[in-house]
Structure 1
């Protein structure tokens, strides 16, 4: 977590859960996080098991240029990232995982802004799966809110241990998501890699 808003919401959620896997939805008091409300949202799992927006803050809706309530969470992501994102969200719902993700928000006119998303599980039982989230931008470009973000490209993903303080998590390396059109389908042995027992050794930059 690098954004102050993410850290503040995590700390609030962490205090509420008090050692449990997640706090209950009814324990969230909007007045306690009023400075963050414009950027926060709540997801719920619908009858098909798809994550949809139950609530979304005004600033977040302004960034995307539409009211997000009732829309599928997958509608925020480009097709190549959508399935992966939805698997991660199911992990938040089912396993009470904490998800931190960075991505590039891409506007209708192809401007980009770095964003951070934090998703925190809420305890609503098997029939009422929900999660609390927040989205914050690394910068505040002049066009944000006027030129709606209509696409998103995932940069990094972290699954966070909620029992560790966020100050330590800042130094934890994220997993950078590789582009689907490079590297993933190449045969490593064709790229000069060598097999040593169960290991695959890739060529480095040292010549000696």
Structure 2
């Protein structure tokens, strides 16, 4: 976790939860994170079980050039990454703290790197929620006027907030390979996820959440 927006929201969330799995969604006070609100979002599941925006900050909507409320969260990414994003957000709805770095591409072909943090909220079994923030690594002049229309994941980190909450480096980032072949063969063991298999341009991680953690 490198950018101030991610670090600040994590510490706010971590203080609210006070040792619990996650804070209740009703405990989030917008005034407490007023400097982050323009970049934050809340996710919920729609009737299909897909993560959609329940709320999105004004600067975040400007970056994407649209009102994001009700919009599919995985659809912000390139098709090859959408299934992975869906799986990661399912984890964030339950108990995972997810950190994603990605490159966003604008309508006119410009690009910028972003850091995304997703955190679980306790909305009850029937109303899973996720709180998050998207922070641009740089703020070029065009950001907010030339909408981001495509995105490609660079790395993913699953964080255990009880182990190293200050620097959050207890789990290394897992780079997501490009379309070009690389050193990942047919089967590879990634400690954070278990066995990984390449299916064309995708990397598929077998197994699910360990309920003993």
- How far does the alpha carbon of each residue in 1:101-137 deviate from its partner, in whole angstroms, 9 at most, with x for none? 0000110111110100000000011210000000001
Aligned residues: 187
SS in 2 for 1:61: helix
Match of 2:178 in 1: 179
Match of 1:104 in 2: 103
Alpha-carbon contact 1:7-1:166 (below 8 Å) kept = no
SS in 2 for 1:168: coil
Structure label with greater radius of gyration: 1
Partners of 1:177 and 1:166 in 2: how far apart? Answer: 24
The structure carrying a bigger helix percent of its residues is 1
SS in 1 for 2:167: helix
Match of 1:21 in 2: 21
TM-score, normalization: structure 2?
0.83
Cα offset, 1:168, TM superposition: 2.9
**Of 45-54 and 167-176, the range deviating more from structure 2:** 167-176
Match of 1:155 in 2: 154
Instruction: Specify which structure has the bigger relative contact order, considering alpha-carbon pairs within 8 angstroms and separated by 6 or more residues.
Output: 1
- How far does the alpha carbon of each residue in 1:174-201 deviate from its partner, in whole angstroms, 9 at most, with x for none? 111112441378669xxxxxxxxxxxxx
Match of 1:2 in 2: 2
Cα offset, 1:50, TM superposition: 0.5
Cα offset, 1:93, TM superposition: 1.2
TM-score, normalization: structure 1?
0.85
- How far does the alpha carbon of each residue in 1:65-124 deviate from its partner, in whole angstroms, 9 at most, with x for none? 000001010120110000111011111113x10000000011011111010000000001
Match of 1:195 in 2: none
Gaps of 5+ in 2: 188-213
Cα distance change of structure 1 residues 99 and 47 upon mapping to structure 2, 3 Å threshold: same
